[in-house]
Amino acid sequence: MNDFLTSIINWAEVWALLIPLAVIFFCRPKAPYIKPVIWYVFLALVLNTVATIIVEYYFQMPAWLKNNNILYNIHSFLRVILFSLFILTVRQYLYPTILKIVLAVYVVFVVVNFSFIDSPFYISSNHFAAESIVLLFFSLSFFLRSMLDESNVNWLKHPSFLICAGISLYEAICFFIFLFFYPIALKNREFGELTMSIQGIIYVVFCIFLALALYSSCHRENETEVPSNKS
């Protein structure tokens, strides 16, 4: 029974994505703003599947295929880019240039980090911490702008609210997990494995938020924002 539960947790980052994927196939959301989310689901499924197969069949893999860390680093980068683009395009902001600058600084940081500080073949705590900071900043910007919104759109019921809520929950918890992953794992390997299991569970919750948002976008009568006076 323990082996069965362990397998479920180990494969959580794969089967969790099948939940939003099922919504995509059955509901076929067509709203233009939701496309970055759809791209994320497909790309994340490919990366997570390959990464998990490498872990589960580690001893059967050739030497050059035994390191899956680069896949997680790529996944992290794509998550930032795609969800940042989603948040940028889903609505109007008072100061969109600030968000674009933050995203540009992140891209520069990734290039510098993997060129001079961390190897892309290791899980980069710096990179994952930067991911959390950027996506939390974007999500909080969305929430703040929605609170001050004067248009007729009810943002609390908009699919983007669910997506930003899911991002905020996932990143707020995983920020500390990835920031202290190596010190924890070196000091107590079992506790390090437990923290990664927690990350897998939170990722399932994140995917459920994505599925709910995708389902909601399919049933909205008006898929676009009513423009406000300010941009």
In tens, the pLDDT along 145-197 reads 888 876 666 777 889 999 999 999 999 999 999 888 778 878 888 877 888 88
Q: What angle do CA 9, 110, 74 make, to 5 degrees?
A: 35
Given a cut of 70, whether residue 227 has pLDDT beyond it is: no
Query: 230: closest CA among 156, 161, 148, 160?
Result: 148
What pLDDT digit, counting tens, does each position of 97-109 carry? 999 999 999 999 9
DSSP structural state of residue 67: -
In which residue are the tokens 């050739």 written? 62
Given a cut of 50, whether residue 225 has pLDDT beyond it is: no
Q: Are 37 and 224 spatial neighbours (Cβ–Cβ below 8 Å)? A: no
Q: Are 105 and 55 spatial neighbours (Cβ–Cβ below 8 Å)? A: no
Q: What is the pLDDT of residue 220?
A: 67
Which has the higher per-residue pLDDT, 35 or 231? Answer: 35
Q: What is the pLDDT of residue 152?
A: 67
Given a cut of 60, whether residue 210 has pLDDT beyond it is: yes
Top mean pLDDT of 56-70, 95-109, 214-228 is at 95-109
pLDDT (mean) for 195-209:
94
pTM of the shown model: 0.90
Q: What is the pLDDT of residue 93?
A: 85
Q: Are 21 and 67 spatial neighbours (Cβ–Cβ below 8 Å)? A: no
Provide φ and ψ at 6, rounded to 5°. Answer: -65, -40
Q: Is residue 54 left, alpha or beta, with left meaning phi > 0 and alpha meaning psi from -120 to 50?
A: alpha
Rounded CA-CA distance 171/202 in Å is 9
Rounded CA-CA distance 176/126 in Å is 11
Q: What is the pLDDT of residue 94?
A: 82
Please state the length of the chain. Answer: 231
Residue 219 identity:
H
CA atoms within 13 A on the CB side of 65: 13
Given a cut of 90, whether residue 16 has pLDDT beyond it is: yes
Give the confidence band of 229 by pLDDT, cuts at 50, 70, 90.
very low
Q: What is the pLDDT of residue 184?
A: 80
Rounded CA-CA distance 79/208 in Å is 16
Q: What is the pLDDT of residue 91?
A: 85
Rounded CA-CA distance 197/215 in Å is 27
- pLDDT over 90, % of the chain: 63
* CB burial string 122-161: b at 16+ within 10 A, e below: ebbbbbbbbbbbbbbbbbebbeebbeebeeebebeebbbb
What pLDDT digit, counting tens, does each position of 77-125 carry? 999 999 999 999 998 888 899 999 999 999 999 999 999 999 999 999 9
Cβ atoms < 10 Å from Cβ of 111: 10
Two tokens at 186? 């070196």
The H-or-E segment that residue 46 falls in is helix 35-56
Q: What is the pLDDT of residue 109?
A: 98
DSSP structural state of residue 113: I
